A and B are shown apart, each in its own frame.
Chain A
């Protein structure tokens, strides 16, 4: 890359998405993940069915989109990985960035495992390997889950090798960088995911019993709107679904060209994510309606989410449906593609941070970081006890990594450092959808209050009973210990000095932007 305007021996210029379209595709690829397919349909059904649309849209507009804008503003204004961007915002904010990086480390390590399962199940769909006992097959034959939680090194080859394959593919994407890796992967995988998923939904709609499923999904229970837990579920889902608050959108937006319509792009990303979720709800419930009819049961008897939906209910549907193998390939293939595009965005948070802190090149940073995460992932999860570890780390990193982290970030930025006016001004400089006071009120008021409610709920439920009835030492170590460890480690990483060659010390590209903006505001 050459820049004729600068002849100084500057550090390598920051990579950028070559077009706004590629950024939007990558951001959608990140937001659309496993949760859209296997979590949203159940959450909506369980919280009022059709009536859930109201709290869902309210949460999207009052918390999801404003938080997305906050991440964009931080990443784009301060042009750095999460730790560097927060450090430039204020020295004291750097640990927030490292906390987000560490949360991403944990998520990447287990998320890849689910993608690996999905990859195997795409292949199993051809032979319907699970026979007539999908549940027994998944937990027994496939995962070989041990009786009790613990730490074991009893590896399960049918998980280990696909996981290795996923990591190799992902590492290749990461090493190739923003333009040749992440942009290219998203511009291939995301359209492919959309087409496959649309075909899956159409196929599901033609199954007998599909309408019963849709009735169950869309029939509104208006009483639910009076229940605070329904509103909490809507806000909670929006936080997780949009990939906000843990560094991903900060990192991606730091690769945007300077004059990019941040809010205009953000609204497209947010509504695409929701549009996909609605589609997933229709597809999943049409299929569940068929499953219920085939079993001679009600939809409420077969409805499920997460692992149970993907690896127990869907295989059962695949076995019973006409052209079941095709349906299985479309469903599990969609999970793989949705998972990979999200996984690379999670990894990019860590890679970018290490690149910035140590002034490493792209190839070295991606190899070392992805290699390290892959080693942890391959070492701990494809074992007979891996499922317990996955379940525990997922639950705790969501509650006390993402949600608590988002709360602390918002409170620090809005209440202590009072940076919202500055960030709002940045959003309005180049964006088409302008929000001044409204955005600040939402980020400084509504969002923290909702997050406090969510975090305290999580805290209460997790201290009142040991999570899932697992042994106390296990939850203490891999749940509470892990979540607390991330905070301690984030502080420790802040105290490691930045490399003398790092952009924290010398970044002419960023400096020229700061100068220009100062000039502009002085005028």
Chain B
């Protein structure tokens, strides 16, 4: 691959998957409100 193509590939992967990683981290830091959990769990899950 050419250096410029590699650079753009790395930037694309870092921004998009990095964005996903940050979004997941944010979600993990704020777990579901226990009070908002369902009364019963679906048995299959």
Binding site for B on A (CB under 8 A): 1-3, 16, 18-20, 22, 49-51, 53, 57, 179-180, 183-184, 187, 211, 214-215, 217-220, 257-261, 264-265, 267-268, 270-272, 274-275, 277-278, 282, 432-433
Contacts and interface: CB of A to CB of B under 8 A. Distances in A.
A16 B32 CA distance: 14
Contacts of B41: 18
B27 A214 contact: no
Interface string B8-45: 11011101110110011011011011011111111011
A154 B9 CA distance: 47
A18 B12 contact: no
A220 B41 CA distance: 49
Contact of B15 (A57, A179, A265, A267): A57
Interface residues on chain B, size class: 20 to 34
Given A259-B36, A278-B12, 12 more contacts: A2-B39, A20-B27, A179-B45, A180-B44, A183-B45, A218-B8, A260-B33, A260-B36, A261-B32, A264-B26, A268-B24, A282-B9
B8 A267 contact: no
Interface of B: 1-2, 4-9, 11-13, 15-17, 19-20, 23-24, 26-27, 29-30, 32-33, 35-42, 44-45
A1 B43 CA distance: 13
B30 A432 contact: yes
B42 A50 contact: no
A456 B45 CA distance: 47
B23 A219 contact: no
A180 B41 CA distance: 11
B19 A18 contact: no
Interface centre among B1, B37, B40 (most CB of A within 10 A): B1
Contacts of B12: 50, 53, 218, 278
28 contacts: A1-B39, A18-B42, A18-B45, A19-B45, A50-B9, A50-B11, A53-B11, A57-B16, A183-B42, A184-B44, A187-B45, A215-B5, A217-B5, A219-B8, A257-B36, A260-B33, A261-B30, A264-B23, A267-B26, A268-B20, A268-B23, A268-B24, A268-B27, A271-B17, A274-B16, A274-B20, A432-B29, A433-B26
Contacts of A180: 42, 44
Contacts of B17: 271, 275, 278
Nearest to A271: B20
A325 to B, nearest CB: 28
A274 B29 CA distance: 22
B37 to A, nearest CB: 7
A257 B9 CA distance: 39
A275 B8 contact: no
A214 B5 CA distance: 7
B37 A53 contact: no
Contacts of B9: 50, 214, 218, 282
Nearest to B38: A18
A49 B27 contact: no
Contacts of A264: 23, 26-27, 30
